[in-house]
Amino acid sequence: MALNNKIEELKKRKEQIEKGGGDKAIEKQLAMGKMTARERVDAIVDENSFQEYDMFVQHDARDFDMDKMTLHGDGVITGTGMVNKRPVSIFAQDFTVAGGSLGSMHARKITKIMDHALKMHMPLIGINDSGGARIQEGVNSLAGYGDIFFRNTISSGVIPQISVILGPCAGGAVYSPALTDFVFVVDKISKMFITGPEVIKTVIGEEISMEDLGGARVHSEITGNAHFFAGSEAECFEQIKKLLGFIPWSNTEKAQKLEPKDPDKRYRIDRIMPSDPKQPYDVRDVIRAVVDGSDFFEVQELWAANAVIGFGRIHGETVGFVANQPLVLAGVLDVDSSDKIARFIRYCDAFNIPLVTFVDLPGYLPGIDQEHAGVIRHGAKILYAYSEATVPKISVILRKAYGGGYIAMNSRHLRADYVFAWPSAEIAVMGPEGAANIIFRKEIQSADDPEKMRALKVNEYKDKFANPYVAASRGYVDAVIEPLETRKLLVHALSVSVNKVQQIPHKKHGIPPF
């Protein structure tokens, strides 16, 4: 056959494969409000930058008449492309081909692109839209998942791994996203669960819809499995690109530096803190008041909202922000917010992203529920993560820093590099009311007017401890600053930390309170 004819044949073969599961299956996919796998890849990468590999790979299953079946691309598209001119590896499961189910060759395509991403030090983006392990392939599909999970784990902390759930992600398949750094979900489209509604009905007799069991909202608001929630696939792809703009391409690099920008003048940092210390405020306004262009990209916004985490830039450099949120539960630490904060610290530390922490919390949430849910074990994760992190670590104590919360939120004692405090800071073992009730109990009880005496003692305690100056006199706080000086000091602290070197004792690895 002449070369021209061979080229024609190649084109035809490719065209055939690009049709995925065929017109009917594609129609069904679109009718569900979903894009096709190829459209998704094209929507994420820069125009015409995608190069597909292994499009001719076929399954090798023989049972259940599979030997008579052709599955285009074996239900997954893999390749490399550019996002904002920087390389990424990507795979997208194609639900139109056997429900995107994962057989051994499908898995082999994924593990090959995962190995490639790790070798080339580039992010891996995985689009999940699959009925899970291909039932006809039995243990071979389970083996495929095992191979993926292993690579997710080994790549963790070396390259960024992003999971996008754009359809079902059922059964053990959920553990790949769970092992990656960031999980993106889309309202009404994403479904993640270990056992589906059918199994639940059979085994425990309960009826539940897929949406209520493991829809996008469930994972964004209740379980914390998802990091970003979008109303549409298009919005989700914009979020992915935005995230990629903030993070470095691997653990041996730093995030891209952009032109520094002043924060938006709308955010007046000197007007955020209410004069009544009992009044809440939105700590995100403090972050927006210090970051370039007031552009704060929040992570896990809808889950454990008593803690705020996310990325912003200070003087052009990416910074990871951690803050207590006085608007929600007064910003206390509990089981979920501890997990949220600790994991984010580890992400930033693994990828050379300095951490800025804004502190305003009354401590850990008291109560039987929290104690029994393991607030000791979960709360310890924050101490562990901050202590172990060697990236530049800066704290600003805005208001309350009580008890264990003071220590946990990147205190000097966990090797914070710089601790600043606003004059409104109150650093003490506990709140003035509780403290006065305990240490002045006798005086209060025996007074002619116990309420008057209580108020007197609360004030006495406040004057003595509820301020930043005792901590500053011990050097636990480096500088007491005016709110208006915050950005200037953060810029300074970050710029004098660029050569930070800190070693932790050599070990195989620590044993964090997982």
C-alpha distances in Å from residue 359, one per residue of 53, 193, 233, 450, 462:
48, 35, 35, 33, 18
Q: Is position 172 an interface residue for ligand HXC (rule: CB under 6 A)?
A: yes
Cβ-contact 321, 296 below 8 angstroms = yes
Query: Which of 66, 82, 120, 142 is close enough to bind ligand HXC by CB under 6 A?
Result: 142
Q: Is position 350 an interface residue for ligand HXC (rule: CB under 6 A)?
A: no
Q: Which residues pair with 87 in a beta bridge?
A: 82
Q: Which residues pair with 397 in a beta bridge?
A: 359, 421
Treating both helix axes as pointing N-terminal to C-terminal, what angle do 104-119 and 139-155 enclose, rounded to 10 degrees?
Answer: 10
DSSP string, 394-431: EEEEEEEEEHHHHHHTT-GGGT-SEEEE-TT-EEESS-
* Nearer to ligand HXC among residue 193 and residue 402 (C-beta): 193
Query: Which of 171, 331, 379, 392 is close enough to bind ligand HXC by CB under 6 A?
Result: 171
Q: Is position 173 an interface residue for ligand HXC (rule: CB under 6 A)?
A: yes
Q: Is position 245 an interface residue for ligand HXC (rule: CB under 6 A)?
A: no
Q: Is position 170 an interface residue for ligand HXC (rule: CB under 6 A)?
A: yes
Q: Is position 145 an interface residue for ligand HXC (rule: CB under 6 A)?
A: yes
* Nearer to ligand HXC among residue 210 and residue 491 (C-beta): 210
* Nearer to ligand HXC among residue 192 and residue 308 (C-beta): 192
Of 42, 121, 115, the closest CA to residue 88 belongs to 121
* Nearer to ligand HXC among residue 73 and residue 99 (C-beta): 99
Q: How far is the CB of 175 from ligand HXC (least distance, A)?
A: 6
- b/e sequence 117-151, b meaning 16+ C-beta within 10 Å: bbeeebbbbbbbbbbbbbebbeebbbebbebbbeb
Query: Which of 168, 320, 363, 431 is close enough to bind ligand HXC by CB under 6 A?
Result: 168
* Nearer to ligand HXC among residue 54 and residue 137 (C-beta): 137
Q: Where are the beta strands (DSSP E) in 158-204?
A: 161-170, 182-186, 191-193
d(CA 435, CA 288): 34
Query: Within the chain, what is the greatest distance between any pair of CA atoms?
Result: 109
Q: Is position 73 an interface residue for ligand HXC (rule: CB under 6 A)?
A: no
Site string for ligand HXC, 188-227 (x = CB under 6 A): --------x-------------------------------
Part of the chain binding ligand HXC (CB under 6 A), chosen from 132-140, 226-234, 300-308, 402-410: 132-140
* Nearer to ligand HXC among residue 196 and residue 392 (C-beta): 196
Of 390, 400, 329, 387, the closest CA to residue 359 belongs to 400
Q: How far is the CB of 21 from ligand HXC (least distance, A)?
A: 7
Q: Is position 133 an interface residue for ligand HXC (rule: CB under 6 A)?
A: yes
* Nearer to ligand HXC among residue 198 and residue 259 (C-beta): 198
* Nearer to ligand HXC among residue 99 and residue 312 (C-beta): 99
d(CA 183, CA 296): 19
Of 158, 160, 227, the closest CA to residue 192 belongs to 227
Q: Is position 99 an interface residue for ligand HXC (rule: CB under 6 A)?
A: yes
Part of the chain binding ligand HXC (CB under 6 A), chosen from 82-90, 128-136, 220-228, 320-328: 128-136
DSSP β-ladder status, 317-324 and 228-230: unpaired
Q: Where are the beta strands (DSSP E) in 75-190?
A: 76-83, 86-93, 124-130, 161-170, 182-186
d(CA 365, CA 371): 9
Query: Which of 20, 126, 131, 177 is close enough to bind ligand HXC by CB under 6 A?
Result: 131
Query: Which of 34, 134, 346, 457 is close enough to bind ligand HXC by CB under 6 A?
Result: 134
Q: Of 79-98, which residues contact ligand HXC (CB under 6 A)?
A: 98
Residues that bind ligand HXC (CB under 6 A): 98-99, 101, 131-135, 142, 145, 168, 170-173, 196
